[in-house]
Every structure is written in C-alpha cells, then in structure tokens.
A and B are shown apart, each in its own frame.
Chain A
Amino acid sequence: MLDFMLFLHQDLGTGPIRSPEEMMAVTKEYMAWADRMRAEGRLKGGERLANDPGKVLRPKGGRIAVTDGPYAETKELIGGYFAISATDYDEACRIAESCPHLKYGGRIEVRQFHTM
C-alpha cells in the first residue's frame, strides 16, 4: 500500500450561501465518505484549513518578503487535505472521485507520498 495526499482545492471566497438544511446534508455526505475511508482502513489523516488566503513568503533581494496569499496568479486556495492509502495512482484517483468535494465545485489534486 502506498500513501497519497488529496489536496482539496476550492475557489477563493465563501461560496454559495446554503440554508442550514443544505449545510447539514453536505456535512453528512463528507462524514459518510470519511467514515467509509476509516472503515476500509485507508484514512491516514486529514485537516481543514481556515477559509482565508493565508500568507506567502519568498526571498527577495536578500531578505524575506511576506505577502498576502495565495500566489498572485491564482484564484483558488487549498481548503484542506485527506491522506489516504491506495495500491497505485489509479486506485487513489478512483477514491478521490468518490469524495463529495468534487460534487460541490471543488477540485482535488492527488499526490503520492515519497517512498524510500
């Protein structure tokens, strides 16, 4: 088994305003997905990041410049991640496909952890 990181990308901003009923439905869907990953023993971890653009640090003229994120050319940010295990990229992508994040307008970047 290999480990993969699913980066959850989303558009900058707060997204559509949902009613409490809709928020609950979405929450339940994500929970059910995470529960299934846990039951299959695949879920290695996960976190959600605060819904703000963050900061970007880069070296500039011998010192470090700190600017508001995200990178200037992008309109999206990483909203969180799940770490899962799978046999290969194919399986990792199939798993990512089942994540409700895609259904709600987000994008997922799948990356394999470095193995020795």
Chain B
Amino acid sequence: MSEHGGTDLLVEGLFRREAGRLAARLTRLFGPARLPLVEDVLQETFAAALARWPIDGAPERPAAWLAAVARNKALDRLRREVREQPFDEALFDAMPITEEPKADLDDTLALMFVACHPALGEDAQAMLTLKTVCGFGVNDIARAYLTSSDAVAQRLVRAKADIRKLGLTFEIPEGGELAQRLPALLQAVYLLFTGGYTAGEGEDLIVAEFCVEALRLAELITRHPATATGEAHALAALLSFQHARASARIGNSGELLRLAEQDRSLWDRELIARGFAHLQEAMTARELSVYHVEAGAAAVHASAKDFDSTDWQQLAQYYAMLEELKPTAVVRLNAAVATAYAEGPQIALLKLDRLSGDRRMDDYALFHATRGDLLFKLGRHEAAHAAFGKALECPLSDPERAFIATRAKSCRRVS
C-alpha cells in the first residue's frame, strides 16, 4: 500500500463500476434471493473506504481493496447468521480478489439474466439492471424515468421480492431457455440506452452515462459465446452508431443539433467502425430483428459523408420495414421524415397526415414540429406556424422548446 496515495488513484466512476462487478460476484455466493443482503454488503464496503482512505490514503489497487473488504464483510454476515443457515466457508475461495475477466463476464451476464427475467416486467428489468449491474443510484434512475425516487425504490423492492419468490437461479440459461430469455436482456439494454439518450439531453451527466453503460453491456453480451447472437450484434451495432454521434448532438450553447447541422468530424470514427464490425456479425443471423433494421438505418447515416449525400431511398426502405416490425409513433414519424427526403415534402406530408388519426400523435411534439417543417418547405407558412404552435403545447424539454419557438418565429418573418 502506498504512503498516502492521492485521489488521482481514483479513476472516474470507480465505485460505480466496482459496485456492479462486486454485486455480480456476491450474488453468485449468496444467491439471487438475497440481493438485499448483497446491497447491504456493498454499502458497508464503500462506507469502509470512506472511513479509511482519508486517513490511510487510497490503496494502490483500489478495486482489489474494495473486493477484499466486500469479501470480509460478506463472511462476517454469514458467520453471524450461521445458526440459521449453515454455509461452506470454502465457497469464499471462489471469490477472487484479483481481477479475472472470464469470471467477471460470466457473473455479470448471470446477474443480468436475473435482473431481466421476463416475469419481472420491462420497467423493473431496466431499473434493476441499472441499480445492480451498473451501480447507479435510485435518484439517477428516477431522473431518467421521470418519476420519484420513492417510486423507483418501491419498484426495486418488489422486483427483489419477486426474484426470491420465483426462486431464480444464478446462471446463464442454455438451449431453448436461453433463446427465450435473451430478448428481454437485449430489450433492457436498449431501454437503458434510450433512457440515457433522451434524459441526458440536459446537463445530467450521470444519466448520460446510461448510454455508455448500455454500450458496455451490449459489448459484453456479444463477447460471451452463449449470448453472441446475430440479434445481440445488431443491437451492439445500433448503439455504436448512435453513440458515435453523441458529442456532435449538442451545440456550443447546449442546444440540440439535428443531423443536418451536426459537425460530422466530431463523430467517433472508431465507434462507427465497431458498429460496422458488429453489423457484419449480425448478418450471420437467420432471422431479421428490429435491431437489424434500426442498425441498418443508423449505418446509412453513419456512412454518409455529409447530410446531402445521405442515401434517402435506402433509409426510406429501412423505415418501411421497421413500420412493419414495430409500428410505434416514433418509428412512423421517422419513416415519414425519410420519405420527405426520398420523395419530397408533398408525399411525406400526405403520409404524415394519415397518421393524424393516431391519438398518440396528438400530444407528440415532434409530430407537429415535423408537419410544420414540411409545410414550411412547401411554402405554406401560415399552416406551418400553426403546426409549430401545436408542438409548443406538448410536453417538451427546454432545448426542444427553444428550438421549436425559433422555427415558429421564422414562419412569420418569411410570410
């Protein structure tokens, strides 16, 4: 141990990452039914670091220090409970103090399969993954899901009780069960990403970290032979393409930049290359998943050197496929936008107006804003102004509101 190691030994996000890693190891030892106990042990472990490190200095290998302390705390717990439930102390030799990537990968995936069990419900799956696998706090999760911390805490308590009642085991499922349960895992990672993508638009850096975590988990899933399916690779490709644009999405004064306005030299070329590598692997799949199509569409943007050279025809085709697979409001709107560029604003507007019967579109700001944009392009400035006005009546984040208000004003200037 160093003499008074400085805080520079503590890399950003260390506790959060180690919380996930240790949760996976401890859950292997205690079993999924005792997740609350695992959380207590982690809490005590970080409290120990808070108690010792200011006085002793940071240990030279902080991750190993935390693992050793967690191991001892876990042992203490079990010894205290020994009368209720006998345990095999030798089991603890199975908990490595040093880093061992292979075991980490297995444990993390097994924990994900517990957290993403189909019986738990979609929200609970994503929240539990964020809490246990990624080490985020209840407050962070609440912000991303636009709900209260209490609601998240209650949801998590209920999920943990369900895990105990269901008697879930700690393992990577095999054969038919694997095929049945993997989609929920991928879905949770996808939700994690979109949660971070939309909520992270403010200055909420922690929630923006959700995207980084989702990408890490997608990579992890594709690294394990059992879970590296074509669908998993397609998801990893999609997230790589999307995240590659992250730093180009926000302008100098924090405003959102549309694809047309983004400085493409800021796109992460390395990540885009990883996206294409995953896409290649994804093509080995027998079936086409939603992630394949979404990744395909994202790849079209990623490979266009500027906005004008985007292959809109191909993009429109992808969106047409996506509308079949997943007819959500967002997808149908994007399909209309792709059409606008492929076949012109007039046809896109027709397509969009067919959606106005859909009640989900009524208070969907982007629907009205897109209509406004198309009407503006067609020179119908009065109608465009009205559409932007409707968009402003919908729920919006501050940067979005500012953006749409500017567009509305520009209609007045021209007419």
Contacts and interface: CB of A to CB of B under 8 A. Distances in A.
Nearest to A51: B47
Interface in A8-39: 14, 17-24, 26-28, 30-35, 38
Residue among A19, A23, A30 with max Cβ neighbours from chain B (10 Å): A19
Interface residues of B, number: 30
B14 A19 contact: no
A46 B54 contact: yes
B412 interface: no
B46 A23 contact: yes
Interface stretch (B133-141, B172-180, B187-195, B330-338): B133-141
A47 interface: yes
Secondary structure at the B interface, as helix, strand, loop or mixed, is: helix
B49 interface: yes
B55 interface: yes
Contacts of A31: 6-7, 53-54, 57-58
A19 B10 contact: no
A37 to B, nearest CB: 10
Nearest to A104: B50
Contact of B49 (A23, A32, A38, A51): A23
Contacts of B14: 24
Given A19-B137, A21-B137, A24-B15, A48 B7 contact: no
A38 B43 CA distance: 28
Interface string A37-73: 0100000001110010000000000000000000000
Given A30-B50, A47-B55, A20 B10 contact: no
Contacts of B135: 19-21
Contacts of A30: 50, 53-54
Interface of A: 14, 17-24, 26-28, 30-35, 38, 46-48, 51, 80
Interface of B: 4, 6-7, 10, 13-16, 18-19, 42-43, 46-47, 49-55, 57-58, 135-140, 206
26 contacts: A17-B43, A17-B138, A19-B139, A20-B18, A20-B19, A21-B16, A21-B137, A21-B140, A23-B15, A23-B47, A24-B13, A24-B15, A24-B16, A27-B15, A27-B50, A27-B53, A30-B53, A32-B7, A33-B54, A35-B6, A35-B7, A46-B55, A47-B55, A48-B52, A48-B55, A80-B51
